[in-house]
Amino acid sequence: MLNIPRETIGSIIRKFKAKGTVETLPGRGRKKMLTSTAVRYLKRRVEKSPRLTAEELRKDLSDVGTEVSAQTIRHTLCNEGLHVRTPRRTPLLSPKNKKSRLQYAKSHVDKPQKFWDSVLWTDETKLELFGPMDQRYVWRRKNKAYEEKNTLPTVKHGGGSIMLLGCFASAGTGTNLDFQMEQYIYKRKSNGIYIINLKRTWEKLLLAARAIVAIENPADVCVISSRNTGQRAVLKFSSSCGATPIA
């Protein structure tokens, strides 16, 4: 009536008499290649050094007599919630940088939106990757992307010869300039280029006549604002190792 072979029914009855259940019992199938001790070792290694590769971990286990493939290690770590991800690139900040940024945020947390709408943020930079340029990966858990050990630090002025001048406000981005020049020439002549850039942005974004210019060097901004924009207000912002605005 159930269209089930007699042999299958007999096997089920015999199993119930012998085991007391017809459920599939644990312990069947292929055994795990890694012991619980080996799994804990792998977790400790990648949580301490997220940039280790699966091949490096395989060699570590091989040195202590455990032979498994790199793919087995990847699967094991994934089952433990540790996945391979491309590290986020973040500015390389010293403790002093972090402290100044936090102080800046606390001192301006109550500023109204109207205040920020009147700020024109400016900066000059040469972005350069710090460290190896090849693609790297890290082992990390979900929502741990910005832990310092899981990021790839970047620094400014680390090499190259392209200087970028840029600015932005709440109304949008300003005009960007890039040029090549030696440092001593930049100190003498770039102020004029900067002023032209600010004027163009002022007109493009239709900023108020008394908007605030924010720049790392307050002496420079005083020259720019008083002589060329009629602006007297200066907002000195917290910077990174190369002056990245935090707003």
Residue whose token pair is 């602006």: 231
CA–CA distance, 224 with 151 (Å, rounded to integer): 37
| Separation of alpha carbons 119 and 172, rounded Å | 11
E strand intervals along the chain: 83-85, 88-91, 119-125, 127-129, 138-140, 151-156, 162-169, 172-173, 177-180, 212-215, 234-236
Domain 89-236: which topology?
A: Nucleotidyltransferase; domain 5 (3.30.420)
At residue 139, the pLDDT reads 78
Per-residue pLDDT reduced to its tens digit, 28-66: 677 788 999 999 999 999 999 888 999 999 999 999 888
State the distance between the two ends of the chain, measured CA to CA, in whole angstroms.
Answer: 75
Task: Tell me what the pLDDT averaged over the chain comes to.
Answer: 72
147-165: average pLDDT: 64
> What is the pTM assigned to this prediction?
0.47
What are the residue ranges spanned by the domains of the chain? 6-85, 89-236
pLDDT at 243: 38
pLDDT at 71: 93
The angle subtended at Cα 120 by Cα 130 and Cα 179, nearest 5°, is: 50
